[in-house]
Amino acid sequence: MPGIVANLLPAVIEAAYHAGAMLAAEFVRPDGPRFSDHVTAPIDVEMEMYLRDRLVSLFPARFVGEEAGVLAAEANGFCWVVDPHDGTRAFLEGKRGSAVSVALLRDGIPVLGVVYAPLSPDRGQDMIAWAEGTAGITRNGALVPVDLRARELTVDDVVFLNHGVWQRPIWNSAAVAPGRFMPLPSIAYRLARVAVGDGLATVTLRPVNAHDVAAGHALLLAAGGVLTAEDGVPVVYDTDGQSRPFACIGGAPRVVDTLRTRQWRGSTEDRREPRVMLSWPRAIPEEKVDRAVGCLLGFAAAAPFDSAARMVTAARSVLAGQAPEPTVIGAMVRAVATGADVAGLLRTAGTGDSALDTALAGALRGATQGRQGVPVEAAMLVLTARPMDRPDSEWADDLTDLAEALLSAGRGHM
């Protein structure tokens, strides 16, 4: 039977890619995504109907979906558990990072998990998958060996949180100390990124159901992680593919134990306003967004903090209609915003400052290779840097939005 599950994985991955393409197309509609209210979108139903038909044809079993509910089948111990679009609310708000989530349970145990984020803010298209009987977890087709069992939380480690937590950075920084936090909309995608080692844990404070977490749970188990409810009880599923609603913590076992002791509710910190607002239409081709994000992220990842802060300040000045500083940093930011030849500029840029030139080389890699030209560990350090002794206008934690806003402002082409 494990062989049967493993053999299903390539076709399930293909189905998730197709559903993700539907979602990406919805994102770039001229008037923005269709919506019924702020938490429901017609595309979610359309994706689920496609996935239900495809998955049940691949392997007949009970199907539990978020949108259309349960499709009964002859009992065989197996159950598909699917959230076609985890993170709908954030998606309708214009945020990237929602995901397709597909799990297969056998007698209530997750034995296959596929999570696909077609519009990840920092990784672009990101497919994370595993099935019982395979060699291990893969990310975009490459094997990713991760073992979370003995990991402890350190200053360089990341805890993924809900997409709104950036509004209270001091409170949430204390909750994840000594680690760092990164907001992402989809709990399925957050669990998946822990499973491939981008972070050590994720926390959600709102009640979630089986369709929200089952695929990410499968991936987490394959990496030696655990998923528990807020009260410490392990998350389990019944044979019908259901689980009790719960807030949950998932990740490395020791880190989960640590985070369960933290104060997550009751903050009195004032909510911060967003520094970047992205609106519709989002008509810039995705490959151009990819290179714009890669350019600024590549620079910040390789630069000393002062240079990265200068770049962020220059970018915010351009968005405010002001001229950036007349330096190579300002020229790079202006080129992103106006659609000039950023890569050509960077190939000839030289300052005689070895640290700055290294950062410009990082920007060139990102401008030519996109987000994938910036190692994920380096990108994560940039997007989780919130030095409390600096004004938050200098923080680069919203750099992916900032790059897209610059490009959109000029309707540029890199």
Selected residue with higher pLDDT from 53 and 38: 53
Q: Examine residue 121 and say whether the peptide bond preceding it is cis (omega within 30 degrees of 0).
A: no
Q: For the segment 269-299, what is each residue's pLDDT rounded down to a tens digit?
A: 999 999 998 888 888 889 999 999 999 999 9
Judge contact between 153 and 255, C-beta under 8 A. yes
What is the chain's mean pLDDT, rounded? 93
Q: Which of 42-46, 222-226, 396-400, 405-409 has the lowest mean pLDDT?
A: 405-409
Burial label for 69, CB within 10 Å (0-12, 13-18, 19+), is exposed
Domain boundaries, the chain: 2-259, 286-410
Confidence of residue 325 (pLDDT cuts 50, 70, 90): confident
Q: For the segment 246-277, what is each residue's pLDDT rounded down to a tens digit?
A: 899 999 999 999 999 999 999 999 999 999 98
CATH architecture designation of domain 2-259: 2-Layer Sandwich (3.30)
Greatest extent of the chain over all pairs of C-alpha atoms, in Å:
71
Neighbours of 381 (CB within 10 A): 16
DSSP bridge pairs for 116: 100, 127
- Which residues, other chains included, contact 284 with Cβ-Cβ below 8 Å and sequence gap of 6+? 404, 407, 408, 411
AA identity, residue 45: V
Model's pTM, two decimal places? 0.95
